[in-house]
Structure 1
């Protein structure tokens, strides 16, 4: 379009609108955070949240989000529908006001919403300003109303076949309204049916070319919202056909509906075995704040004291682990960076637990130790939600709640309700409270012990080695990066390993059989277990949330167990210990599993050709090797099958398993921590039924030859 045509289309009627929205286009980061994929997703959240606000008010129970192949996205809801009547002060329809006027909407105290996610009145208009095209349709009073915008300016597009969604495009000829906007009736709606449909194309001149809608983020947000608004059905449909997405081979649709609310959400988020049940802390409080209110007589904004009601609803539970998962929300809007509600929640937790530990100090053997926040938060999973009208956020992205009065209200509710659970005389609550207090004390003592260990020990010299377990056969090197710790199964393997190792940089720690299954045990039981305590002490980095990777005494931790089913079980138990209590070590790629061979094959000598020794690591490899040599006309002596590491002599163990020049190690990694967590819980957790189902369903894949009978 030429500059002269641009000038003609820039009409006086929309001068104010374009001036307001032009500021959004010039400084988009101020409104949506960035112009990459995060900003693109933020625009989508704004439209979805408007629909969710209808659900919060009880007017909507179904929301659909459709990602279309032309790059546009459509959000549908069955709420009341955007108002279509004329707004008296502007003379514009409600639809046009919502999508073209900054700081306009039904969430400024006019009685339309008591609590909502949209607060600043800029969401829909900002999305409109940053879209090359936006279409909105509203069903009200048995009619369907429609309006289109290009970069914030209302008008009409020449689409041709309007029934074909793909016929609509931001590049179609556009005619702006000049004399007055027209909210057209574009169809009929069934009697009693209401709702809104918003479809928009993000402006490619604003957003980066690499920006695209993130399907995984969208699914996570939909699932989260369905937990927070019980009874709301959210449907996500992807028609883009993008490679690497579930819909790459055709349209893909997922539906979310949860009636359990935040209790079900808390259970879903929990990564570990439960110590307590899901506790629900509910209450409310009121506060007064001074806000500008429109004086209908004068038409000006005047400051008035307004009483606000703040509802608090929290679901929480403690588990056996040490990770903390706290998700906070204000009117179902996530606040990932916290705010006053999080502060009040944590302050109340500390106050309650300090008091309970003082009351039960002798019973719990607290002594003079002081509990800290990390001790209380260890293993906590919580969903913290507050609802109030017109909360104050720090910025349009709404990541931090700033309303100061909320802190005291949340703190008061948590203190009252949590104290009631911890002092309850009911049998179940009493038992859970006792276990929880014991866990907090165990975390406290573990932290203090780790701190003392860190202060007194980095690497002990030969003269100082008496503080380490006597069964540890340490190496001479003090180079943490070069040294290796082999955790071996039994004294027989230790004897062979001692002769096979390079004592300059290879240390050996024997364990007796199968260690404690820490997935089912408490922190206190784990620390009392001699084998677990020895491993943690020798590794040197501590355990749990106090684990310090820089304090680890060895560059590699190598699990060397027998190549049989029992050895695999012991290795799994050891990996569970590292995964639960020394996870940074696994994440850093410093935990390995040794691969001892299963067979030793000695090729018979033939003429001047000497007999050759070959090691194989599976039955299939052994059979294939034998077949290959027999084709060459060579025969084998009787194959030797190793039942355990103790059956090898030192030279064989060094050559196959310990010598870095010849050995094979398998590095243990955490490609997907949550999936690994689920697998560990399935195989090693306290729930027997899921493990039984897994064993039954996998029975057909079992190689019975690997079982020692």
Structure 2
């Protein structure tokens, strides 16, 4: 079938002028029209206030989420210019809010470094708002202008401002109205706007959590800046659900304090701060007086500021920023940072290969990044971003500048001669080498079959008592305390699907030990080997050889201590296993009461699991007039149980009770263990002093 000819000429072309293009294609400017796009509009307004603070002209920013759905941003910067812009004849306020690619961030000298650089932020927000009011304090006066979907005019408000109020657009000329007086020396800008529901989806909402996170981050990046966030919406599920909620953020410690805030594990090193700057030339188009564009080489300054520390964990947290604008997808600055890290560590490990026992293997980026928490910021004029959302930095010269600064400063840190700094440098080098060895070991064992019993492979510990089943979901691994408990458990288990692994007393305290020490410890290595899913960042929960891992320890203080040690190992190096709900604690009984029945009826055996439960049982028996045999059997350990008793109470799936370990439970165990057995002495001393008054001396077993 021949397609029908259709006429296509110049009159079919559409020319979208001014803010009309923004309303027609909002996704091009804000990414989307859901909550993400709504928040992006708010970031554009906040970032303008932040740029004033970054330039040294503002110290306070207030963000208010109002009941009627609007949002207000107030700063004490210089205020938007209110005089006439020569080319357009419009006031500076109207130019900023109605003209795309207009502003003070195009190399005019107002901002040496800023987050906004395209000149479309405020005008885009204005175009996508059903109403926007702006007030400027300058020269002892307060000026105001209002807009309806980007068009300047006046709203006939009776009392409370509303986008539904009658609106009269300016016809002959715009008016920047003087609405009050400002105190002498007071400057600033207040912007209040209502997002246009013709543009945004009905479910688009401002996220209080995202706003607070952004405010906190900005306060870290600009020391001394005070940011206040107030939520007056009373929205369900928010901190301000029942009353207005306000939070204030001010962090004078800068990005060093930010790195400490982001870190979740105990430290291997202190926070190291690296700073430096360099210049580079860039060829950019420049407009001359006639409006013609010509290429010109300009010199840029780039400031680099890095705060980083390594912890004992293996998770990586790297936050990067350009002129305090977050770049979550990285860019040239992050590439330069990572290249420098790998280069320096390879050089230092090669120089100390014999002492570190590194062998001939090479470290890679993941080995260095394991346990790293870092904040990287660069400041430069007119950075090149990929897209208006500014998620990736594209300026090529920044990569080399960041790389040189980090390489120089990190080398100094790793070759320091002061005792404390030298110890930290050695600790982080050992950690990186241990990560390399762990990665290589995981790679070598990756293709090993998931289910092999002890007879099929020599890699399994000889003390493992394997089960017969190859069904991972049904199989269970019981970690038992000592050989005596192993002997009883061997007779009590169901050999079809229950495997046993004895451990010798208390395993290594991995809270204080390095990764190298952990891997060298026989008990920890046996556990990792038997579970078969790796450790640390290479742990693969789907490769685990058992559906349940059960800690079966004595019901005493030592048993609780061993459980805590095991939980710390699981949480630190096999966390996905805990998150998947595959780690359990067996609940063995403390007492066995033989209740005497009258006549020929056999006596009844009842097990209790606490002193309170025992006293409750005895009280009930006394009230019922029933007797029991003395003495009541008190189990001091699993080894004291007969096999049938252990099976009935602790191992038989039909009668036993297991406690599933949750992430919260593992975190609590780790906190308690860090407090009582960690390397930091001061919190433990405070804990002992605080609890000394409540100690009952008679309960001390001495």
What range is the shorter-chain TM-score in?
over 0.9
Among candidates 163, 166, 174, match of residue 173 of structure 1: 166
2:273 matched residue in structure 1: 280
Counterparts of 1:139-218 in structure 2, within 5 Å, are: 139-161=137-159, 167-218=160-211
TM-superposed deviation, 1:563: 2.2
Preserved contact between residue 273 and residue 686 of structure 1 (Cα < 8 Å)? no
Taking a change above 3 Å as real, the CA distance of residues 701 and 683 of structure 1, as seen in their structure-2 partners, is: same
**Alpha-carbon distance in structure 1 between the residues aligned to 2:202 and 2:696:** 51
1:256 aligns with 2:249: yes
Q: Structure 2: which 5+ residue stretches go unaligned?
A: 1-13
TM-superposed deviation, 1:154: 1.6
Other structure's SS at 2:446 match: helix
TM-superposed deviation, 1:334: 0.7
1:452 matched residue in structure 2: 444
TM-superposed deviation, 1:242: 2.2
Other structure's SS at 1:204 match: coil
Among candidates 510, 514, 521, match of residue 518 of structure 1: 510
After TM superposition, the score normalised by the length of structure 2 is: 0.93
**Alpha-carbon distance in structure 2 between the residues aligned to 1:701 and 1:248:** 39
Preserved contact between residue 603 and residue 636 of structure 1 (Cα < 8 Å)? yes
Among candidates 349, 356, 369, match of residue 377 of structure 1: 369
Preserved contact between residue 273 and residue 685 of structure 1 (Cα < 8 Å)? no
1:642 matched residue in structure 2: 635
TM-superposed deviation, 1:613: 3.0
1:292 matched residue in structure 2: 285
User: Can you list the C-alpha shifts for 1:79-99, whole angstroms capped at 9, x where unaligned?
Assistant: 101111111112211111111
Preserved contact between residue 154 and residue 176 of structure 1 (Cα < 8 Å)? yes
Preserved contact between residue 484 and residue 506 of structure 1 (Cα < 8 Å)? yes
- The count of aligned residue pairs is 688
After TM superposition, the score normalised by the length of structure 1 is: 0.92
For structure 1, which segment, 131-140 or 605-614, has the greater mean C-alpha deviation from structure 2 after superposition? Answer: 605-614
TM-superposed deviation, 1:673: 9.3
TM-superposed deviation, 1:507: 0.7
TM-superposed deviation, 1:519: 1.4
CA-atom RMSD, angstroms?
2.5
Preserved contact between residue 454 and residue 551 of structure 1 (Cα < 8 Å)? no
1:21 aligns with 2:19: yes
**Alpha-carbon distance in structure 1 between the residues aligned to 2:673 and 2:42:** 36
2:496 matched residue in structure 1: 504
Among candidates 91, 94, 97, match of residue 95 of structure 2: 97
2:107 matched residue in structure 1: 109
TM-superposed deviation, 1:660: 1.7
2:529 matched residue in structure 1: 537
For structure 1, which segment, 62-71 or 676-685, has the greater mean C-alpha deviation from structure 2 after superposition? Answer: 676-685
1:471 matched residue in structure 2: 463
Taking a change above 3 Å as real, the CA distance of residues 478 and 174 of structure 1, as seen in their structure-2 partners, is: same
Taking a change above 3 Å as real, the CA distance of residues 702 and 251 of structure 1, as seen in their structure-2 partners, is: farther
Preserved contact between residue 565 and residue 708 of structure 1 (Cα < 8 Å)? no
2:435 matched residue in structure 1: 443
2:411 matched residue in structure 1: 419
2:546 matched residue in structure 1: 554
Other structure's SS at 1:661 match: coil
**Alpha-carbon distance in structure 2 between the residues aligned to 1:156 and 1:609:** 95
TM-superposed deviation, 1:146: 1.1
**Alpha-carbon distance in structure 1 between the residues aligned to 2:356 and 2:225:** 45
Among candidates 128, 131, 145, match of residue 130 of structure 1: 128
For structure 1, which segment, 633-642 or 126-135, has the greater mean C-alpha deviation from structure 2 after superposition? Answer: 633-642
TM-superposed deviation, 1:575: 0.8
Taking a change above 3 Å as real, the CA distance of residues 488 and 100 of structure 1, as seen in their structure-2 partners, is: same
Taking a change above 3 Å as real, the CA distance of residues 63 and 346 of structure 1, as seen in their structure-2 partners, is: same
Preserved contact between residue 550 and residue 585 of structure 2 (Cα < 8 Å)? yes
**Alpha-carbon distance in structure 2 between the residues aligned to 1:326 and 1:224:** 13
Among candidates 81, 84, 100, match of residue 82 of structure 2: 84
1:319 matched residue in structure 2: 311
Among candidates 358, 370, 373, match of residue 350 of structure 2: 358
**Alpha-carbon distance in structure 1 between the residues aligned to 2:585 and 2:403:** 48
**Alpha-carbon distance in structure 2 between the residues aligned to 1:685 and 1:30:** 52
Other structure's SS at 1:646 match: helix
Taking a change above 3 Å as real, the CA distance of residues 677 and 403 of structure 1, as seen in their structure-2 partners, is: farther
Preserved contact between residue 235 and residue 241 of structure 2 (Cα < 8 Å)? yes
Which segments of structure 1 move beyond 6 Å, counting only runs of 4 or more?
Answer: 672-677, 698-709
